Amino acid sequence: MENTTINGLHHITAIAGNAKRNHDFYTKVLGLRMVKKTVNFDDPETYHLYYGDKGGTPGTILTFFPWEGISAGRRGARQASEIGYSVPEGSLDFWLNRFEKHNVIYNKPAEKFGEQYLTFLDPDGLKLELIVSKTLDKRLPWETDEIKAENATKGFHNITITTNKMQPTADILTNIFGYKLLEQHVNRYRFVTDAVDNANIVDLVEVAGEVAGHVAGGSVHHVAFRVKNDEVLMQYRDKIAALGLHITEKIDRNYFYSLYFREPGGVLFEIATDNPGFAVDESVEELGTHLKLPVQYEEYRASLETTLPKLD
């Protein structure tokens, strides 16, 4: 991993409806670890739930804002439209059986760029893919009683963005983030960075006439890219501001520092640091077991613990 580059994906944040349903699907059906149970910084009566591997490694973290009763989003252009997880070779039959058992909506396995993949929807309609990567994925997965290492997800493989015009987004990926165009099939363009071995792929799907999607329940809210530390973060702030794009000031998210900007294709991008990480306020062994509140909401803990839905 390089010190001054974008090191692939950091996390992906999506929107859900019912919090317990979201929690049960991702921890029990998909077998991810609940890495952090906290609240939305702007709406503390809503959870911000983080799922990932044992230590909450960047590149494995899927997060949700569960807003009870939110309307369903609509997939379309100007959106991150599919989240790809890496799974071991030979595991797709296990997942097909599991999805049958748990009434998960899925499509039969297919192939793109020489990789087998299985598309499925979460309970809110978020579109995900399990992908057998053609490059070896050595990451250690989180295991559960029902999902062992030979089948478990290892973290992100890629994110897919649907766009009306791919070039402006491609320019950000290549000129600013250091990605390269690896291959193209019809209207799907695969970009990769060699700064890291995994969670390093962005697919752009160009559909000129596609109507813009609507971000709500079952939609990706933003895609976060990874940098080593604050110093590198601020170098990227300068680069993006120099393009004339609006970018936020540095924001402290307790577990990482962030900048946000909307790329020219309309998707909200974040750049997030590795530091300080998820073990800053609870040990790796205890990750996700306590409600963690930003300091400004700590005085409301008693009332929030009553208001927030029960997950267990």
Look up the domain containing 70 and give its range.
9-307
Does the residue 216 lie in any domain? yes
* CATH code for the domain of 187: 3.10.180.10
Does the residue 166 lie in any domain? yes
Number of residues assigned to the chain? 312
**pLDDT tens for each residue of 52-104:** 999 999 999 999 999 999 999 999 999 999 999 999 999 999 999 999 999 99
Does the residue 54 lie in any domain? yes
Residues near 197 by Cβ (< 8 Å), separated by ≥ 6? 135, 137, 138
Domain count, the chain: 1
**pLDDT tens for each residue of 197-232:** 999 999 999 999 999 999 999 999 999 999 999 999
Does the residue 176 lie in any domain? yes
Does the residue 14 lie in any domain? yes
Structure confidence at residue 27 as a pLDDT band (50, 70, 90): very high
Over its C-alpha atoms, the chain yields an Rg (Å, rounded) of 18
Read off the pTM.
Answer: 0.97
- Cα–Cα distances in angstroms (integers) from residue 157 to residues 15, 137, 300, 308, in the given order: 20, 9, 39, 32
